[in-house]
Amino acid sequence: MSHQPIRRADYLPPDFGIDRVELEFDLEPARTLVRARLAIRRIGASDAALVLDGEDMELLGLALDGNALAADRYRLEPTRLTIPGVPDAFELVIDGAIAPAANTALEGLYISSSVFCTQCEPEGFRRITWFLDRPDVLSVFRTTIRAERARFPILLSNGNLAAARDLGDGRHEAVWDDPFPKPSYLFALVAGDLAVVEDRFTTRSGRDVALKILVEHGKEGRAGYAMDSLKRSMRWDEETYGLEYDLDVFHIVAVSDFNMGAMENKSLNVFNDRFILADPATATDLDYANVEGVVAHEYFHNWTGNRITCRDWFQLSLKEGLTVYRDQEFTADERSRAVKRIQDVRVLRARQFPEDGGPLAHPIRPDSYLEINNFYTATVYEKGAEVIRMLEALLDRDGFRRGMDLYVARHDGEAATCDQFVAAMADANGRDLSHFLRWYGQAGTPRLTLEQSHDAATGTYALTVSQRTPPTPGQPDKLPLHLPVHMGLIGRDGAEIPLRLEGENAPQGTSRVLELTEASQTWRFVGVEAPPVLSINRGFAAPVVVESSESEDDLALRMRADADPFSRWEAAQSFATRLLLAGIAAAAEGRPPPPTDAFVAALAAAFDAVEGDPAFAAELLALPGELYLAEQVAVIDVEAIHAARKALRAAVAQGLVDRLRHVRTGPPRPFAPDAASAGHRALANMALGYLSTIDGPAAAMAQYRAADNMTDRFSALAILSELDVPERTAALADFHDRHAGDALVLNKWLGLQAGSSLPDTLATVRALLDHPAFSYGNPNKIYALVGGFAGNALRFHAADGSGYAFMVDQILRLDPQNPQVASRLLKAFGRWRRFDADRQALMRDAMERIAATPGLSPDCREIVGLSLA
């Protein structure tokens, strides 16, 4: 396929609009007939030919205003259909045929467990019919679906059901009307034999909405939490943003074969079933939280994505960054704000910071791409959400809400840009945010350095903050960014100091947002009697790295006394990171690890200071992860990182042993999925993990056997899976037999074994490729087993290159069948330059083997090209 880079600077509006689309489907798995009747209108140059996108389809006929077009009136190429000399307004009827059963890429119309479903974002609609498959072409859709009633009793598309009838020959028909103009990527169709779980919701203005979640028969009992999450999301968007649902029905369909998490098609969301199905026996607390978050995310897209969509795919973060921010805020309101923030920052640091620091770095609004599927990234999503959060910090909550209101009022029904979003924020608040816009175009994680001085004679404390963003591919020179510096000052007694800047008449609280716009800026606070302890980047208000040489005493003080809970956690992470980095250096040089007493004592004091928030206490006890630590060292040594972390875990366990044992006393609590109950389990399981480093497997095995919920059972299994003991084998076998036939649970089982640090992990993974629980046809299974192995730093980076060779084989096997999944796995090689020379050579060879493969997908070609560049 002739894939040329697409550049943001080349954007041109379309030459034609398509006002109305009538689709007719005659569904058959092997060969489905699709008729499209398009009402087309010229909006550009009078001599422009009509050029429609289309891939992998068979053209059966074309008619313009009722007249069949002869073959010499149009040109059909592998990715487009060109019709020159068309009138200014006309109707085009296209007859085509597609093969859903043969669709293994899971883009366009495909079949998952005998259910027809679609995935059209970003460019899947062009595999259903020829179209202007771009998000700035908005059309009203009517969809007619015909299929055999026995196999496909349920026929769904976007909007409201307009008609349904029996066709007499064992087939039936349904007609769906969606009154809201939408781009083709939001089209959806589902047909199959599914169970329906129903509920209702009345909107603030009195609209009665039918809520329907469709799942595999027999799984109805696992849809309750998703339904509850949906209703809470609908209420939250009304209360927080005044945004109401706009149709009489909202469908969610859970399918088992899906490349991503879920998809926000208008009124017909299609979900990876792992983000819908949850019950105590099969879902962990993390699964419950993910269901809640993803249901909310897709629902919130109805406004931020659907009612206001993106002009082009470079603007993807317009809908994704904003919607991630919205779902994060929803979870923060429904659960614990501090714990949610900590978890989101962990994900950002583990997934987005490495992306921003490597060969795949790109701004949240990229400048060019070969394959847009490669840009559904942590940068566009998670960093995009951080950029929105910074606007909230700079404009404050009310100002942000004013900006949202103006954005919706201005752009409802339109395809908008990131510039327009920021303009709405600026105009609603009388602010100039042109400098802030640099966040959209500049890649890389800024690094802040600090200088502090205190003048006892005048009681003045001066803080200088400097910023610098390291170069990223294609962007050697970086400009200073506009960012919030959320800070506070703490006295030696642990009390927060009132903050009064020089020139102000009175202090303005004890926590403030300063605005950094220059490369370096100084603020002077008066009325500060003694040298204070600085608490900076509270709540992680800016997605930056703060380079700080804070003393151990100050870190310890902030761990127990900082008024901002996020910063207490952050202080603990910084302290632990400092020790771990020293430990990594020591392990690499065969020296004994550094003393840990001061840290352990500080952690104990911080733990004691946490009152009544076990979820937060569990976060405090969780040491920085291997991925995060890898980012902090000059040359990644996976063995030294693993060893140092293991050693510090053992030291913490010894030092906190009484507290950890105390956590595990008390009567058992009945299971409930709410955040408070989950918090108790999180802390109890964190304690179990630490204690098993002292006590061995017995307690974990006992919990594994006695557990009445998946969180406790799986946590115990995960602990056992890291120990080379007979109990490990027994528990893994038992878990498999208990859950045989439950794909979602067996994926956890696959993932756990793929992620194990034990030395025979690769052999186990190879053997599991032939296990009935695994299949190359299902993305969840591939991500669990093969992706799980790629995320296992210790074993993927085995010094002999066996892990790399294995991954190359898997990627090359998957690429012809599902390039999106293959290219996601390929990203595991991206950080190759950060390793020692031997591993660099092995990883380079591995990628060159991929690059040299004939017929490689554009998806993989782009990733390998960027990685090797």
Minimum distance of ligand 0A1 from residue 121's CB (angstroms): 5
Map tokens 């398509």 to a residue: 18
Instruction: Return the number of the residue (421 or 569) whose C-beta is nearest Zn ion.
Output: 421
> Which residues, 6 or more positions from 837, have their beta carbon under 8 angstroms from its beta carbon?
none
Helix (H) / strand (E) element for 32: namely strand 32-42
Instruction: Return the number of the residue (294 or 580) whose C-beta is nearest Zn ion.
Output: 294
* Catalytic annotation present for 529: no
Minimum distance of ligand 0A1 from residue 283's CB (angstroms): 20
Beta bridge partners of 25: 34, 145
**Segment near Zn ion (CB under 5 A), from 71-79, 312-320, 588-596, 792-800?**
312-320
Which residues contact ligand 0A1 by CB under 6 A? Answer: 119, 121, 259-264, 297-298, 320, 373, 376
Q: What is the DSSP letter of 495?
A: P
The CB-nearest residue to ligand 0A1 is: 260
Minimum distance of ligand 0A1 from residue 340's CB (angstroms): 19
Instruction: Return the number of the residue (261 or 816) whose C-beta is nearest ligand 0A1.
Output: 261
- Selection from Zn ion, ligand 0A1, none that 216 binds (CB < 5 to 8 A by kind) is none
Instruction: Return the number of the residue (257 or 320) whose C-beta is nearest Zn ion.
Output: 320
Instruction: Return the number of the residue (224 or 261) whose C-beta is nearest Zn ion.
Output: 261
Residue 655: both structure tokens together: 């030092």
Instruction: Return the number of the residue (297 or 827) whose C-beta is nearest ligand 0A1.
Output: 297
Catalytic residue among 107, 298, 392, 619: 298
Instruction: Return the number of the residue (301 or 834) whose C-beta is nearest ligand 0A1.
Output: 301
Minimum distance of ligand 0A1 from residue 269's CB (angstroms): 9
Nearest to 288 by CA among 681, 773, 566: 681
Secondary structure (DSSP) of 377-436: -HIIIIIHHHHHHHHHHHHHHHHHHHHHHHHHHHHTTSEE-HHHHHHHHHHHHT---TTT
Minimum distance of Zn ion from residue 321's CB (angstroms): 9
Minimum distance of ligand 0A1 from residue 120's CB (angstroms): 8
Site for Zn ion in 313-332 (CB under 5 A): 320, 323
Say if CB 22 and CB 7 are below 8 A apart: no
**Letter string b/e over residues 207-218, b meaning 16 or more CB atoms within 10 A of that residue's CB:** eebebbbbbbee
Map tokens 């991500």 to a residue: 783
Residue 656: both structure tokens together: 């906190």
Nearest to 186 by CA among 84, 8, 305, 23: 305
Say if CB 498 and CB 507 are below 8 A apart: yes
Instruction: Return the number of the residue (310 or 716) whose C-beta is nearest Zn ion.
Output: 310
- Rounded to the nearest 10 degrees, how much is the dihedral formed by the CA atoms of 233, 237, 239, 241? 160
In angstroms, the CA 760 to CA 766 distance is: 10
- Selection from Zn ion, ligand 0A1, none that 263 binds (CB < 5 to 8 A by kind) is ligand 0A1
Instruction: Return the number of the residue (320 or 329) whose C-beta is nearest Zn ion.
Output: 320
> Which residues, 6 or more positions from 263, have their beta carbon under 8 angstroms from its beta carbon?
119, 121, 188, 269, 270, 271, 298
In residues, how long is the chain? 869
Minimum distance of ligand 0A1 from residue 472's CB (angstroms): 24
- Selection from Zn ion, ligand 0A1, none that 861 binds (CB < 5 to 8 A by kind) is none
- Selection from ligand 0A1, Zn ion, none that 261 binds (CB < 5 to 8 A by kind) is ligand 0A1
CA distances from 415 to 134, 297, 439 (A): 10, 19, 21
Q: What is the DSSP letter of 532?
A: P
Residue 418: both structure tokens together: 């990131």
In angstroms, the CA 97 to CA 375 distance is: 30
Task: Mark out the alpha helices in 111-252 (DSSP H runs).
Answer: 224-241
Nearest to 324 by CA among 302, 297, 363, 306: 297
Instruction: Return the number of the residue (157 or 259) whose C-beta is nearest ligand 0A1.
Output: 259
Let me know how many helices (H) and strands (E) the chain has, helices first.
29, 31
> Which residues, 6 or more positions from 590, have their beta carbon under 8 angstroms from its beta carbon?
none
Q: How many residues bind Zn ion (CB under 5 A)?
A: 2
Q: How many CA atoms lie within 13 A of 338 on its CB side?
A: 20
**Letter string b/e over residues 815-834, b meaning 16 or more CB atoms within 10 A of that residue's CB:** beebbbbbbbbbbbbbbbeb
Say if CB 587 and CB 643 are below 8 A apart: yes
- Selection from Zn ion, ligand 0A1, none that 550 binds (CB < 5 to 8 A by kind) is none
Map tokens 């206490």 to a residue: 617
- Selection from Zn ion, ligand 0A1, none that 709 binds (CB < 5 to 8 A by kind) is none
Map tokens 């898997």 to a residue: 810
Minimum distance of ligand 0A1 from residue 259's CB (angstroms): 5
Minimum distance of ligand 0A1 from residue 104's CB (angstroms): 14
- Selection from ligand 0A1, Zn ion, none that 554 binds (CB < 5 to 8 A by kind) is none
- Selection from ligand 0A1, Zn ion, none that 260 binds (CB < 5 to 8 A by kind) is ligand 0A1
Minimum distance of ligand 0A1 from residue 195's CB (angstroms): 23
Instruction: Return the number of the residue (309 or 711) whose C-beta is nearest Zn ion.
Output: 309
- Selection from Zn ion, ligand 0A1, none that 376 binds (CB < 5 to 8 A by kind) is ligand 0A1
Helix 565-588 / helix 614-621 crossing angle, nearest 10 deg? 20
- Selection from Zn ion, ligand 0A1, none that 119 binds (CB < 5 to 8 A by kind) is ligand 0A1
**Letter string b/e over residues 450-480, b meaning 16 or more CB atoms within 10 A of that residue's CB:** beeeeeeeeeebebebbbebbebeebeebeb
Instruction: Return the number of the residue (35 or 351) whose C-beta is nearest ligand 0A1.
Output: 351
- Selection from ligand 0A1, Zn ion, none that 262 binds (CB < 5 to 8 A by kind) is ligand 0A1
Nearest to 758 by CA among 789, 785, 715, 780: 789
Minimum distance of ligand 0A1 from residue 376's CB (angstroms): 5
Minimum distance of Zn ion from residue 263's CB (angstroms): 8
Beta bridge partners of 253: 214, 270
Say if CB 485 and CB 464 are below 8 A apart: no
Residues forming the active site: 298
- Kindly list the residues in this chain that would bind Zn ion in the complex (CB under 5 A): 320, 323
